[in-house]
Amino acid sequence: LIPITQAHIDAVTFIGKGGLRFAQKLAELGGKVTVPTTLNSQSVDRRRWEILGVDRDLAQNANAVGDAYLKLGCKISFTCAPYL
């Protein structure tokens, strides 16, 4: 392993129940990030999904993935360019 001072999680897109369950399980077990960690964009707009016509189940699952990573202590960034 190499020492790091920050991280970026790319796996925030809802691609199925397995990925969602993985992130939720990490949070349930009390997992926490130990360096400042940003999040990639997720599958749907967290606030405007309904106006955009996104299916409710997809929106709820997508937001649940993001919520699980936030519980781990990640920053609420949801961008592929966290350096901007």
Q: In this predicted model, what pLDDT tens digit does every residue of 13-31 receive, in sequence order?
A: 999 999 999 999 999 999 9
- Answer yes or no: are the C-beta atoms of 45 and 52 closer than 8 Å: yes
Is the pLDDT reported for residue 83 higher than 90? no
pLDDT of residue 17: 95
Question: What average pLDDT does this structure show over 38-61?
Answer: 96
Tokens for 67? 């919520």
**Bridge partners, residue 38, by sequence:** 8
Query: Rounded to the nearest 10 degrees, what angle do helices 56-71 and 17-28 cross at?
Result: 30
SS3 80: coil
pLDDT of residue 84: 61
Alpha carbons 47 and 63: distance in angstroms, whole number? 9
Question: What average pLDDT does this structure show over 28-38?
Answer: 97
